[in-house]
Structure 1
Amino acid sequence: MTSTVCEKTGTRGDGRDPLANWPRPPAGGWTADDLDRLPDEGPNGEPDFFKHVELVDGALVFMSPQKRFHESVIYGLRTALNSQAPHHLKAVTQMDLVLGEKQRPCPDVVVIDAEAAKDRSRTSYKPDEVHLVIEVVSPESRFRDREVKPKLYAEAGIPHFWLVEDKGGDPVIHVYQLDPVTRSYMVTGIHHDRLKTGEPFDIDLVLTCLPD
């Protein structure tokens, strides 16, 4: 029999409270370090419940299941960037960035120092190890990807940011570069079919033929 959730009491049809075992925030709220101490299972034993969670302004943000477009673009960009990156840089996917005590977002793709990528025990990276951050916009994260996260990345001093939009199933990439004076991003181009740039290294991508 399928359990239902009672709207007034917050309990399921079988009498169980779905939030009974929910981890309570510590005094002062969640911090970046707390994400390394979250339990493996959810409040009702769900496996990997906290596997895809970010910390934005001290709040836990759970990421919805991704669409095939999202997964394909992430894989394609990581593969293509690594095929062109110099030996001292490495593209990785869905690794946290610790930007402050209350900020630990998880970008879709980041280009980091290759030396930092060698440590397989790392769960996060620092801004001074990051050269490029890429966010692939999805419906549920549109506001965070377009408005919230770029400001966090810019304030942290990350020099390059790409925002990928879905235009009829094809990626369109908005490329931004940091203005070190204002600590804000300035758009340098919007790329539909091909992205060619010299920053943060020589990159030439045919966006309609990314690895899949």
Structure 2
Amino acid sequence: MPRILLLEDDEVLTMGLLYALKEAGYETDHAKTVAEARRLFAADRYDCLLLDVLLSDGSGFDFCRSVRASSAVPVLFLTACDEEVNVVQGLDYGGDDYITKPFRVRELLSRIKANVRRSEAAAAADGEASAAAKLVSGAVTLLPLETRALLNGEPIDLTPVEFKLLLLFMRHPLQTLTREQLLGKLFDEQGEFVDDNTLSVYIRRLREKLEDQPSQPERIVTVRGAGYKWNQRSGPHA
């Protein structure tokens, strides 16, 4: 049975979520504080984390950052604010997705399912990636087995989803990938309940980390009316 850690201090919302998650087949542990969530996470294994942002003793962002030091478990933020700056902050701390309160339970369950499935697929892809332990494209080097990326030999600080997006681009050099294809690979295969703006944020953040002039990208280029393309060759090197 998939296991979820819920960090939420709203008692009414928590009651509803615990019931819905149980009915959907998830086993859920609940924490009201960041300290309690840290104890639970250290003692057990989870398939997904649902994190409120503002807690009495800290924030879900801080907890996510500590989780990312040792785990790539999917993290979904439950936030009352959908302003882009908050979304970007959550992604920078290592979050995989966010959902704005109030939300529909069906939408939340779909996003949980999509992120857990994506995580499982990524784990399977690690074995596939062993055939190409290194991908090189100009100044960018990707080490799939180590989940590391380098630019001009220097490490690039990427979130888990940013890394997966870069890996997807470099595995399909000079090929136009539609937004639907990218969303399908990164999130839900059907693209259900995925905010299209989230992909735009990931693309922009990745450009800021890879491009000399992010406003005039040369690596990740926009193909007007079609999607995006990794605009240089890449391949495995010994």
* TM-score (normalizing by structure 1): 0.37
- Structure number having the greater helix percentage: 2
- Structure number having the greater strand percentage: 1
Larger Rg computed on CA atoms = 1
* TM-score (normalizing by structure 2): 0.34
